[in-house]
Amino acid sequence: MSKNNITAGTIARTIVLILALANQVLAMSGKQVLNIADDDIYQVVSIVFTISASVWSWWKNNSFSYEAIKADKIMSELKGNEN
């Protein structure tokens, strides 16, 4: 398991910082600034987490049948004996 536990707040703050910096650069350049509402940021972060959770959950070995669960236990025992 990864020890890199990035929280939702960290990701949201990072996205807001990037958007604020981009907005500032655009304003300084005389370009049209980004018109982004807080709800838009929330929806983007929610979509990213939903997609990430979906991919992660199906990337893992999801054993539902009795045989698959038993095979997982045997595999775990074999891996434990290798060390």
Looking from the CA of 34 toward its CB, the CA atoms found within 13 Å total: 15
> What is the value of pTM for the model shown?
0.41
CA–CA gap between residue 21 and residue 29 (Å, rounded): 12
* Per-residue pLDDT reduced to its tens digit, 16-57: 888 888 888 888 888 877 777 778 877 887 888 888 888 877
- Count of residues in the chain: 83
Cα distances (Å, whole numbers) of residue 6 to 12, 43, 63, 69: 11, 18, 27, 30
Considering just the CA atoms, what is the radius of gyration of the chain in Å? 22
Give the least confident one: 8-12, 23-27, 56-60: 56-60
Q: Which two tokens stand for residue 12?
A: 């949201």
